[in-house]
Amino acid sequence: MPENIEPEKIYITDNEVHHILDVLRKTVGDRITLFDGMGNEYEAQIAEITGSGRKKVIVAGILKTSRSFTEPKTRIILFQSIPKSSKMDLIIQKCTEAGVFKFVPVISDRTIIKLEEKTKLEKTKRWRDIARNAAKQSGRGIVPEVGEITTFHSAIKACSENKIKSIILWESEKTLHLKEYLKINRMELSCTAVFIGPEGGFCHDEIAESERYGISSITLGSRILRTETTGLLTAAMILYEMNELG
């Protein structure tokens, strides 16, 4: 996903050069397809390779520009309570591949990990890099945004104020299944916020607060899923219902 794009040329640097030259084995004269991370797709031809080592630059001439057709029209915003260890890395990688539009890391009541300000910045940068690489690997037309780490209260308040259709996955919900909810609300799902709890799930007070803000608590069924599974499965079910999976 190059950043330096002119009307007729694209300049490719850094890790993209390694991927094109060493992994894809492309050279001068070969055609490549590039995405700018903002929904545009470029068919280009490598015209020149300059520099050496880590300072190599690929200069490619633009042959054709079009809008990417890989992006779902349904925009899923995943509010993921931060889990332990590297589980968040996996969540962002796989949900980017599935088609999630945006990620917001959340600190909820049962979030175990404690983050200092410096650590928050480092984690956010890492997650953004993972989203970028996963978007490139899966041919996404955009790079999903990874927002700043926020609190549960701030997250549900923001969704309410912005009138975003929102659901919260809760293992103790026994009545409203996601499949039923999607069929009832299909016409209102163009932008959907999905709240996923940490390893211990959401507490009763958080569910009560989310309901006061008009957020529906949803079940995926009788089995209790891991936090790193729940968001991916929920996103897949939403996109399937909207005929946009894959």
CA separation for the pair 153, 218 (Å, rounded) = 19
| Tens digits of residue pLDDT in 59-68 | 999 999 888 7
Is the model more confident about 137 or about 157?
Answer: 157
CATH number at 23 reads 2.40.240.20
On whether the CB atoms of residues 35 and 1 are closer than 8 A, the answer is: yes
User: Are 141 and 53 found together in one domain?
Assistant: no
Helix, coil or strand: residue 185: coil
Domain count, the chain: 2
Burial, 99: exposed, middle or buried (Cβ in 10 Å; 0-12, 13-18, 19+)?
Answer: buried
The tokens for 36 are 């700018």
CA separation for the pair 97, 71 (Å, rounded) = 11
User: Are 103 and 216 found together in one domain?
Assistant: yes
**Integer CA distances (angstroms), 218 to 159, 169, 181, in order:** 17, 5, 8
Full DSSP string of 3-62 = SEE-SSEEEE-THHHHIIIIIS---TT-EEEEE-SBSEEEEEEEEEEES-GGG-EEEEEE
Neighbours of 212 (CB within 10 A): 10
User: Are 91 and 50 found together in one domain?
Assistant: no
User: Are 147 and 230 found together in one domain?
Assistant: yes
Q: What is the pLDDT of residue 55?
A: 87
CATH number at 159 reads 3.40.1280.10
Q: What is the pLDDT of residue 140?
A: 85
| Averaged pLDDT score across all residues of the chain | 91
User: Are 40 and 79 found together in one domain?
Assistant: no
CA separation for the pair 179, 218 (Å, rounded) = 9
Work out the average pLDDT over 8-19: 87
User: Are 131 and 216 found together in one domain?
Assistant: yes
User: Are 62 and 79 found together in one domain?
Assistant: no
**Within a domain: residue 246?**
no
User: Are 86 and 176 found together in one domain?
Assistant: yes
Residue 1 has pLDDT above 70, yes or no: no
The tokens for 152 are 């549960």
pTM of the model: 0.81
Angle, in degrees to the nearest 10, between helices 87-98 and 227-241: 10
User: Are 23 and 86 found together in one domain?
Assistant: no
Residue 3 has pLDDT above 70, yes or no: no
Cα 77 vs. chain centroid, distance in angstroms?
A: 8
The tokens for 220 are 């995926």
User: Are 115 and 30 found together in one domain?
Assistant: no
Q: What domain range is 35 assigned to?
A: 4-67
The tokens for 188 are 């209102």
Query: Which band of pLDDT confidence, cut at 50, 70 and 90, is reported for residue 18?
Result: confident
